[in-house]
Structure 1
Amino acid sequence: MWRLGDVQRDLRDEVRALALGPIRPRVLEVDQSGEYPADLHDLLGRAALLDVAVPREYGGRGLDEVASCVAVEELAKISSSVALISCYVKLVNVPLLLVGTEEQRRRWLPPLAAGEIRASYALTEPGVGSDPAALETVAERHGDTWVLNGLKRFIGYAGMADLYVVFARTGDPGARGISAFLVPGDAAGISAEPLPTMGTPGWPLGAPRFEDVEVPHENLLGEEGGGFYLAMRTFDRSRPGVAAQAIGVGQGAVDLALDYALRRQTFGKPLIGHEGMQFKLAEMETEVAAARALTYQSAAAIDHDDRELTKLAAMAKLAASDAAMRVTTEAVQVLGGNGYLLEFPAERMMRDAKVLQIYEGANEIQRLVIARQMLKQAEARDPIWPESMPGAPGVATGESAPTPAEQSDSTQEKAGAAA
C-alpha cells in the first residue's frame, strides 16, 4: 500500500470532511436537475482545492501531484462530477506552467486557482478524437493577430468558459503544424452547443464553434508548431488525475456495497455472511487498491520528472478506469434491485465510471501508448535471453546450437568455398 506523508494525510482528511459535509447533500440534486453546481465550484475555489499542485506564487497550495490525486479521489468517492471540477482545471494549468510566459501565468493561474474563472481545454473535434494530429481547426496570422476558425466537440465548459486553450492548425498537415492559443471566453465569434451526457451529471460538455475569432499574437501559448507536443505532455500530467477520479468512483462503490452487504438480510443472515459475497467484495477492494498504487506511482513520476511518465500515466488511466467500470457494475449487482433505482447512488456511479474509459484518451489508445513505450525500451537495451531470440543459432529451426568447434569447422568450410 502506498504510504502517504503527513501533508497528504491531512489533505485527505480535509477534503473528506468537505465531501461528506456540504458537498454530499447537493449530489442528488445535481444528478436530478443536471445543472452545473456553480456553488460547489466556488466552494472548491475558496478551499484552494482546484488543483492543489499549482505553485504558491500563482495562488495554489504548491503541493505535489500525489496530494493532487488524493484530493481528487476523496471528492470522487462522493461525486465524480465535483471531482471533475477539481481535476479538469489541470488541463489548463499544466500547459500554462509548461510553456506559458510569466505574463500569461500571472494573468490566468491565480484566478483559476481561486475559482474566480472557468477555463476550457479545446482539442477534440467531431472527426478528430484519438488522432489529434489530424485536427482541422485553423488559425491564420494577419500581422500581429491570429484568426481562428473551427468546430470542437466534447469540450468542458463549452459556452461557459472565461478562457479557452484552443489547438489549431497553423502550418502543414500533421503534428508539427499545430499550435496552441489562449482565447478569452468573451471574444467575438464564439458559440457553443450543449451535449447532454449519460453520466457526470451537471458537467457542462459541449461543442464550441470559433468563427473568425481574433486573438493577439501574444496569446500564442508556447512556440508556433509546438501545440501537438504540448497537448501530449499535458495528457501525461493530467491522466493520473483521471485515474484518481476513477479510483474515487471505484472506492465509493466498494464502500457502498460493503455497507449494504453488512445490513441486508438474506436467508436469515447478513448478505456479507455468504462466502460468495465476501469473495466478490474482496476482489473489488483488491482491484481498486492495485490501481491506486499505480495511480500514485504515476503521480510521483510527475514530481520526479521520471522518464517513464508517459507509460506510467497511460497504465494508471487504463487500470483505474477499467477497475472503476468493473467495480461499479459489481456494486449495482450487490444491491440487486435497489442498485437499479435512482434513489441509490450505485447506478450513478456506474454511469459516471463509463466516461473515464473514454476521455483524455480512450483506453484503446492507452494500450497503444503503453505498447509503444515498451517497444522503445526494448529497442534501447540488449535482449535478456539473447540465445533464445529469433535468429540465434538453432532457434528458428529448432535445431541445437552448434558447439564452438562446429562453428570453427563451418567457418573454415565457408572460407574454403570462397577461395
Structure 2
Amino acid sequence: MADRSFHGWPFFERRHRELVADVDAWASANLSAIDHADTDTACRALVGMLGKGGWLKYSAVAPDDESATLDVRSLCLIRETLARHDGLADFAFAMQGLGTGALSLFGTPAQKSEWLTKTRAGEAISAFALTEPQSGSDVANSTMSATQEGDTLILNGEKTWISNGGIADVYTVFARTGEGPGARGLSAFVVPAGIPGFEIAERLETIAPHPLARLRFSDCRIPKSALIGERGQGFKIAMAVLDVFRSTVAAAALGFARRAMDVSIARVSERKVQGAPLADYQMVQGHIADMAVDIDAAALLVHRAAWTKDSGAPRVTREAAMAKLFATEQAQKVIDMAVQLHGGDGVRHGHVVERLYREIRALRIYEGASDVQKVVIARQVMGAHHV
C-alpha cells in the first residue's frame, strides 16, 4: 500500500501503528493460501487462523478481566487491513466480534468464561441474530418470542440474513419477552447451535459469497441463565453493540477502497493509450485525486468515531452513523471508478476490482442501511439543536 501517512494521525497511539504493521505482515504471509471455492470451509479455516494468529483477542473482551473494554480503534484498523487483503478474512474477524459483542458488553462472568474463551481462540464461531423477515432495520418491530415456563424460556420465530448462520457454534438471539411494546419488550439470549427446536431453515446466497442463513426456532427451550443482561433491555443491548461495530463496517469499506485505489494507480501507470501511460492524462489524474479525497475524508470520520468511543464516550451514535454512511457510499464510488479505469478487466470474474465491486455493495445495507443512517444522523442533529 503506497499511502501510510494516516498512521501518524493523532487518533492513534504507537501500539496501533505497530498493530497495523503486524496484521499487514501476517495477512500478506497467510491469506493468499485460502481456497475460497467452499465458503463455509474457508470461513472456518480463517477463524482458526485468526485465532492462532492472536488477532481474535481483539474481537471480544478477556473473560477473566472485569475491567476490560473493546478497543474500537484496534477493531477498525484490523478490519481495514484485513479487508484490503481479503474480504472473507475481514468477514470472519468481524462476525466473531459482532456475534459476541453482547457478551463482551453485558455478559455474566459464566457466559464470558464459557464462550469468549473459545471465540477469542478461534475454537468456536459466533453469530448475531437480530434481523427478522418482516423487520430488517426496524428492530423494535421484532416478533420472535421468548416465553418463560418455570426455569426455562421457549423461543419461537425466525431470524434471517444471519451472518455465519449454519456454521456458528453460538448465537446471540434477540426475542420479545413482553415487558412493554416495541423496543421496550425485547431481551437478548446466548443460544448454542444444535439444541432441539433450533434449525437452519435456509441457506442464503449473495453476490459476495458469505455464510448466511435463515434460522427457525420452534418451541426451542433454553435456560434462564441464557439471558444476557436484563429482561426488556434487548434493544438497548443491540444498539450498544452496533454503536461499537458500526464504525468497523466503515473501516472495512475503507480497506476495500484503499485496495481499489492501489490497484488503480498500478493500472494507469502501466497501461498505455496512444503510446502514453493512462496516468499522464489529466482526466485520469482527476479520478485518482477524487479517490484520494474520498478515502481521506472517510478515514477521518471512521477514526474520529473510534477515537471518541475509546476516549470514554458512552455512545457514539452520531459519529458511527456518519462514518458508516460516508465511508460505505464513498467506497462504492471509488471502487466503481476502479472498475472503469480497468476497462474490460474490471468486469472479468475473479479480478480484484470485480471482487471488490461485489464485496462493497452489502456494506451499504447491513448494520443499518444508508437511508437508515441518514435518519439516525438527522435525529441526532435535530435533537442536539433543541437541547
TM category (shorter chain) comes to over 0.9
Separation (CA, whole Å) in 2 of partners of 1:157 and 1:58: 26
* 1:10 is aligned to 2:25: no
Aligned partner (choices 38, 48, 58) of residue 42 of structure 1: 48
Secondary structure at the residue paired with 1:66? helix
Secondary structure at the residue paired with 2:136? coil
> Which residue of the partner structure matches residue 271 of structure 1?
278
> Which residue of the partner structure matches residue 263 of structure 2?
256
Q: Deviation at 1:5?
A: 2.2
How many residues are aligned here?
374
**Is the Cα contact below 8 Å between 2:47 and 2:125 reproduced in 1?**
no
The one-character-per-residue Cα deviations of 1:190-219 (angstroms, maximum 9, x if unpaired) are 1111000111x2x21110111111110011
The letter of the residue matching 2:82 is L
Runs of 4 or more off by more than 3 Å in structure 1? Answer: 32-36, 53-59
The letter of the residue matching 2:355 is R
Separation (CA, whole Å) in 2 of partners of 1:209 and 1:308: 32
> Which residue of the partner structure matches residue 176 of structure 1?
184
Separation (CA, whole Å) in 2 of partners of 1:161 and 1:232: 22
> Which residue of the partner structure matches residue 399 of structure 1?
none
Secondary structure at the residue paired with 2:55? coil
Separation (CA, whole Å) in 2 of partners of 1:50 and 1:154: 23
* 1:74 is aligned to 2:98: no
Separation (CA, whole Å) in 1 of partners of 2:294 and 2:266: 18
The one-character-per-residue Cα deviations of 1:3-46 (angstroms, maximum 9, x if unpaired) are 432211111111111222220343xx41x444441222111011
Q: Deviation at 1:155?
A: 0.1
Q: Deviation at 1:91?
A: 1.6
Q: Deviation at 1:343?
A: 3.6
The letter of the residue matching 1:16 is D
* 1:126 is aligned to 2:133: yes
Aligned partner (choices 98, 119, 136) of residue 112 of structure 1: 119
> Which residue of the partner structure matches residue 85 of structure 1?
92
The one-character-per-residue Cα deviations of 1:131-179 (angstroms, maximum 9, x if unpaired) are 1101111010001100001111000121221111110011043111111
* CA 1:281–1:161: 2 relative to 1, 3 Å: same
Separation (CA, whole Å) in 1 of partners of 2:20 and 2:382: 37
Q: Deviation at 1:308?
A: 5.9
Separation (CA, whole Å) in 2 of partners of 1:70 and 1:157: 22
Aligned partner (choices 173, 190, 193) of residue 185 of structure 1: 193
RMSD: 1.7
* CA 1:284–1:218: 2 relative to 1, 3 Å: same
Separation (CA, whole Å) in 2 of partners of 1:19 and 1:273: 33
Q: Deviation at 1:58?
A: 4.8
Q: Deviation at 1:275?
A: 1.1
Separation (CA, whole Å) in 2 of partners of 1:34 and 1:378: 47
Secondary structure at the residue paired with 1:358? coil
> Which residue of the partner structure matches residue 254 of structure 2?
247
Q: Deviation at 1:51?
A: 5.5
* CA 1:252–1:190: 2 relative to 1, 3 Å: same
Separation (CA, whole Å) in 2 of partners of 1:119 and 1:56: 16
Q: Which protein has the larger Cα radius of gyration, Structure 1 or Structure 2?
A: 1
Aligned partner (choices 222, 231, 244) of residue 224 of structure 1: 231
Q: Deviation at 1:50?
A: 2.1
